[in-house]
Amino acid sequence: MHLVAKSFAAFTALGSLASALPKSTPPAYNATSNTTACQPKVILDNDWSPAGFIPYLQALSAGWEVLGLVSDTANSWALQTGLHALATLEVGDLGCIPVYLGSDYPLLNTPKLFQAWEYVHGVLPWEGAFAPENLTAEAEGSDPTSGNPKRISRAAFTEGFPNITAQSDMSAAEFMVQQVRKYPGEVSIYSAGALTNIALAVRMDPSFASNAKELVIMGGYIDVNLLQTTGSVLLADLNSDINLMIDPEASKIAFTADFPNITFAGNVANQVMSTQSFLNELHEVVNPYTDLIYNYYGTQFPFWDETAAALMLDPSLALNSTSFYVDVDTSYASPSYGNIHAYQKALAPRGQDLKKVNYVLEIDEAGLKAQIKKAVQQPPTCADLSR
């Protein structure tokens, strides 16, 4: 996900790190209960936010086993986004799903390097975790940006501050490596934030990518430069690729790894906008999740992450797709640093082993909305999952 609607809660100022850390532990997760040999498995890696939970509800609703959620640094720092994952699980009694905190920093990028790049190549309308630090905005409900990555902005937890804690026995990348070793060929890796953890997993274990089932990502816009100039700043925002640009080197490592299948929800992720009438329709069934969506999802942005999740769960929703060999520009001196470049086979570079990826161009809008509606109106709880 990128730019999320700012929310302003009546929480007080930042607590110290120690007092802010939640104390209790979720009940043990029994991943073997209610699993059948054919139940697909997924790990969802995202920069979670107060209304950013729909993708994991989509997966649960489709009967997939959510092995765990992983946080990354993209919209905000990985600690803050991981706490949002915990909080949104907790509000729906889904705290049995484990959360692993991702890497604080991208492989190379830092706020200073990113801001220096912007000075030369132009400012992104949404700078995610690399926006300049603004403690006033944080006190008013924004997630932390720049500064100390271990800083928590409690005012941003409009969904409630979590009382359950992230798993502390291993990092997000280690968790992904462990699960793919445990279930070779079965685990889909879903990424709707930066690719840092996935790149770390790829480098940590040379068999990680080839033993995963697939990689499905939100991001990878192509041929959108004109849209960045001919409309509003918001239109430019919708067509900027913060997920990949936060960590260009990790994006390249992930997309050139040996995943058996890589699917991009890039331009298609902008197709279906959130509208008030759809939010009203979702809220016809009132539960903690439809409440959060109704209050905080907003109508400014498309269903980015939900589009990527829907295409993973039901590939038949793709109405028009293409495929191409993909590279990521990792030249810091380039204005497209962190953006993709596509090739047909005949013209693909011979000096590197680029991978062919599926690139969806159009999604079945009614099918996407039906999937979202079922997921948020009938969410399971841990009691259902351990039946």
Q: Which residues bind ligand NAG (CB under 6 A)?
A: 30, 32-34, 63, 87, 90-91, 134, 136-137, 140, 159-163, 214, 261, 263, 311, 315, 320, 358, 361, 380, 384, 387
Q: Return the number of the residue (107 or 151) whose C-beta is nearest ligand NAG.
A: 151
Q: Return the number of the residue (163 or 178) whose C-beta is nearest ligand NAG.
A: 163
CA 293 vs. chain centroid, Å, equals: 17
Q: Return the number of the residue (201 or 360) whose C-beta is nearest ligand NAG.
A: 360
Give the shortest CB-1-to-ligand NAG separation in angstroms.
19
261: Cβ contacts below 8 Å, ≥ 6 apart: 213, 214, 215, 358
Give the shortest CB-362-to-ligand NAG separation in angstroms.
6
Between strands 262-265 and 340-343, the pairing is unpaired
145: Cβ contacts below 8 Å, ≥ 6 apart: 76, 111, 127, 128, 129, 130, 131, 132, 133, 134
Give the shortest CB-208-to-ligand NAG separation in angstroms.
18
Give the shortest CB-210-to-ligand NAG separation in angstroms.
13
* Both structure tokens of 235: 């239109």
Give the shortest CB-333-to-ligand NAG separation in angstroms.
27
Q: Return the number of the residue (353 or 384) whose C-beta is nearest ligand NAG.
A: 384
Q: Return the number of the residue (200 or 317) whose C-beta is nearest ligand NAG.
A: 317
Give the shortest CB-358-to-ligand NAG separation in angstroms.
5
Nearest to 246 by CA among 83, 346, 118: 118
Q: Closest residue to ligand NAG, Cβ-based?
A: 160
Burial class (CB in 10 A: 0-12, 13-18, 19+), 322: exposed
| Dihedral angle sign, alpha carbons of residues 28, 32, 33, 38 | positive
Q: Return the number of the residue (141 or 193) whose C-beta is nearest ligand NAG.
A: 141
Angstrom distances, CA of residue 37 to CA of 32, 65, 180, 186, 213: 10, 11, 15, 10, 14
* Both structure tokens of 140: 């008013």
Ramachandran sector of residue 24 (left: φ over 0; alpha: ψ -120 to 50; beta: rest): beta
Is the separation of the CB atoms in 65 and 42 below 8 Å? yes
Q: Return the number of the residue (133 or 353) whose C-beta is nearest ligand NAG.
A: 133
Give the shortest CB-386-to-ligand NAG separation in angstroms.
7
Q: Return the number of the residue (125 or 315) whose C-beta is nearest ligand NAG.
A: 315
* Other CB atoms within 10 A of residue 223 CB: 10
Give the shortest CB-50-to-ligand NAG separation in angstroms.
10
CA atoms within 13 A on the CB side of 357: 33
